[in-house]
Chains A and B, each alone.
Chain A
């Protein structure tokens, strides 16, 4: 099948491309840039739009197996597609946890069945995510796992994490760390600060994250492992990663859109759509995260998509589960909060949401170089639109951004050369010839 994407601004940081070009996709691969056949089977008119490598969301939670009413791998893959995300990596805190080869393979199988965006499993670091013994990391690599993490939970025992980091090194896969000191965080439900003090809610301090970031970086140093810090939320954490990189350590990290958009002041509404772990922090922390995104300290933006049903979330703030969905708001928030105000360029944004996460997960994605798999997103950064949670493809609705006016939308999402998502009404969508 010959597909031509015509007249869009092709922005591929990995391939060093940023110009208005036509793209030739043959079957499932990118065949050529600029040099396109005269009579393709399909043409997509991308005039005025940006054509980028499909987004790679390296931190999502899909609830299969165990909590399929919140999200399944299939519905997650649909949600990803709607967000311009062609590959996502799902965390293993399912029930049961993804801690063996068969469980990892199951994710790949379900992803293939869904035939939407690719879902790759992140395997557990410890058996059952209990933090006590190493899980069968080698088996999971065979099963398709791209990284390892006990996310949802920290690996509280430093020695266990040290061993895991050492062991995982031989597979050249990163260990993704959820940095939270459980004793300090205690029964906290939000950031520890003026707001929690005023509201009488238990708080989780910046220190409860920073202490573990420092610990994990030290462990990465002695093991030489690949460490990726998940969902950085505290200013101090950003600084610790900055210094680790200056030392030349193989430490990467990510931040979520809600952590550079919302502060703990939102919690005054007692709406559990603002309850997330790590919690929304202060304006100072947001500043530090933005600075970290701009100067390269933070390598990726990931959604930490965490679906919950309405019944679960529609309870008192103190009792609600933590989590916000985010695959369908990732791109718009990156564009609206970072690119439009000039904090980063659009090129940098694509590095954060596609090039770098693909690299960190060692996926052969995140690029539009000829020969690469044709995972492409065609995005509109100029038309303002309003987020409507009701129209999300995710099964869940726990999102604090309903009604928010944003820029940045994936109009078409292409996986392996096939259009798996189209946003209508057509904006430069050419239809079939």
Chain B
């Protein structure tokens, strides 16, 4: 399957073949990271700009490293998106960046659709590093990659995503990716965080982790924050942790070969117990490593795409 796209904006419109192309490509790039010189030259002379309107050190560093391992030069722009702060518009910022000779812009933004707008007005490639609660394609791809590495293929696997699904771009992208590759998805959380409407996307919705945990091949724990979006949607972190936290007692009901994942950063003791995060089933650190390979693959492919 050939990758022909100039942008990576989300997984909703990608076919199974396209997703697999990225994952296969990432295998080659993972190998690069095992060499003594962790660099290959395909993006030599190209410039990758990180345009982050939402603070994120980890993701930005991951994209930066990915770009430099492809021998690209990296520039970083960090701006505030407070709508009260009337500065340069997103479009103007991006156009300026394009004029400076940037080849790929990696965008993270609080507003859904921001990367899509950019893709419409720019001639360079746009990679979505997270747009509000809409999509976070590279995160979902690296999760798929990690699962595939351990389980061989995704078809027929049961994957649970636990947490604030309603506000989660990781959840949305993952749903598209998992379904495209034939996995069964169970969304878990309280009704206030997991809208029943998601069932119409062909996934299962459960409000009881204990009931479904023994069926899961993979459990992906999302970070729970008691911040503005989520405040008032559940009574306390303590209650959330008791009902939906992945602790050792719950793990006893899980499968022997279950994979525990988390997009990070982890809230130890809230959504996941430290012993589980560090335990034998956890592939959380591998996810970070795979993120690099997947992002290298995404960058390489969009520069080749028409």
Contacts and interface: CB of A to CB of B under 8 A. Distances in A.
B262 interface: no
A385 interface: no
Given A317-B112, A319-B111, A197 B195 contact: yes
B295 interface: no
A315 B90 contact: yes
A198 B117 CA distance: 17
B169 interface: yes
B169 A200 contact: yes
Interface string B36-63: 0000000000000000000000000000
A318 B172 contact: no
Interface residues of B, number: 28
Interface in A296-332: 311, 314-319
A37 to B, nearest CB: 59
A296 to B, nearest CB: 34
A194 B117 CA distance: 21
Given A315-B89, A318-B113, A319-B81, 7 more contacts: A198-B172, A199-B134, A200-B132, A200-B172, A201-B132, A316-B111, A317-B113
A284 B201 CA distance: 19
B17 to A, nearest CB: 22
B109 interface: yes
- Most chain B beta carbons < 10 A, residue from A199, A200, A318: A200
A270 interface: yes
Contacts of B110: 318
Given A198-B12, A201-B132, A318 B111 contact: yes
A194 B134 CA distance: 13
Query: Across chains A and B, which 10 residue pairs bring their CB atoms closest together, nearest first?
Result: A270-B113, A200-B133, A316-B111, A200-B134, A318-B111, A319-B83, A200-B112, A197-B197, A316-B114, A317-B113
A201 B229 CA distance: 12
A201 B200 contact: no
A100 to B, nearest CB: 30
10 contacts: A193-B197, A194-B200, A198-B172, A200-B131, A270-B116, A270-B117, A314-B89, A315-B90, A317-B113, A318-B112
A197 B198 CA distance: 8
Interface string B90-129: 1100000000000000000111111011000000000000
A86 B10 CA distance: 48
A317 B118 CA distance: 12
Interface in B147-196: 166-167, 169, 172, 195
